Amino acid sequence: MANYLLAALVPLLWGSTYAAVSLFLQDLSPFWVAVWRALPAGLLLLLLKPGKPPLPWGKMTLLSVFNIAAFFPLLFIAAYKLPGSVAGTLGATLPLQLMFMQWLVEGKRPEFKMLLLAIIGLGGVVLILNPSADIDPIGAAAALCATALVARSSLWLKSWPVTDIFRLTAWQLTLGGLLLVPIAFLIEGMPKAITLHELPGLLWVSLLNSSFAYWAFSRSIKKIGADSMAMISMLNPVAAVSLGILLVGEVLGPYQWMGIGVVIISLLLMIKIKQKAARTRIQRPL
């Protein structure tokens, strides 16, 4: 139970990123926010537990690119261009994308019920992005691409032998942050000075949403599996929608609410099917 409670904190924290951007970080570049989120967090963890990366440099770099250097800019582009409730729901398509990616990469064909629910969930995404909603297409594409990167890296984390999750998190954030620095310079130029107004938002996304949440995410994939972690990610839109309405004052149209509902219901049904299958395996006589 403790493993699942820790895993649940990850999407709740990541769902708060959109509210943090809206409340504190609107005047900063998304690329420099990505740097400030990753690099200080990684260096702090390395100071707490110095040492070599727990994976070969090639694999370590791949994870750093997919989980940090590419993912963070896409995430913040989505956060700056979309309502948090929409961006969070698109991010919660992780189980759907993971299912299709396992099919493509590992040849693991999904059950018919799961495939049907995945298609229904994607129908909810279509409702969210309907033309009348006036959703920024770049923001929507960024959110979906960012989620695809997490899906791919989750499969790597599941299969690669890693015992030191703390150091894995430290090196991912550090390498990813270092890779982001020249990209931010090329695209945005020199960073703006950080004000006292922006500092709480940066501390939140760096210390909690990166240092802690990435450690908990990697640990949870090893402890409960990539599929279960992906299912728990449905808490991301719950946090994003709740905080968007309560703190940011976001207003959604009826089709968007319907789409969010369809995505969440499809994910809940997926969890129910997974739990039923797990109980059947446990009860099956030898």
- Rounded CA-CA distance 141/144 in Å is 5
Concatenated DSSP letters for 13-80?
Answer: HHHTHHHHHHHH-TTS-HHHHHHHHHHHHHHHHHHHS----SS-HHHHHHHHIIIIITHHHHHHHHHH
Q: For 222-236, what is each residue's pLDDT tens digit?
A: 888 877 777 777 777
- Decide if pLDDT at 133 tops 70: no
Query: Which of the four pLDDT bands, split at 50, 70 and 90, describes residue 98?
Result: confident
Q: Which residue from 186, 179, 262, 201 is spatially nearest to 27, judged by alpha carbons?
A: 201
Res 103: pLDDT: 85
Percentage above 90 pLDDT, the chain: 42
Q: For 45-62, what is each residue's pLDDT tens digit?
A: 999 999 999 999 999 999
Res 130: pLDDT: 66
Positive or negative torsion for Cα 104, 223, 37, 198: positive
Quickly count helices (H) and strands (E) in the chain: 15, 0
Q: For 141-190, what is each residue's pLDDT tens digit?
A: 999 999 999 889 988 988 898 889 999 999 999 999 999 999 999 999 99
Residue 124: how many CA atoms within 13 Å on its side-chain side? 24
At 178, the amino acid letter reads L
- Among 69-83, 187-201, 252-266, the minimum mean pLDDT is found in 252-266
How many residues make up the chain in this entry?
A: 286
- Rounded CA-CA distance 112/131 in Å is 30
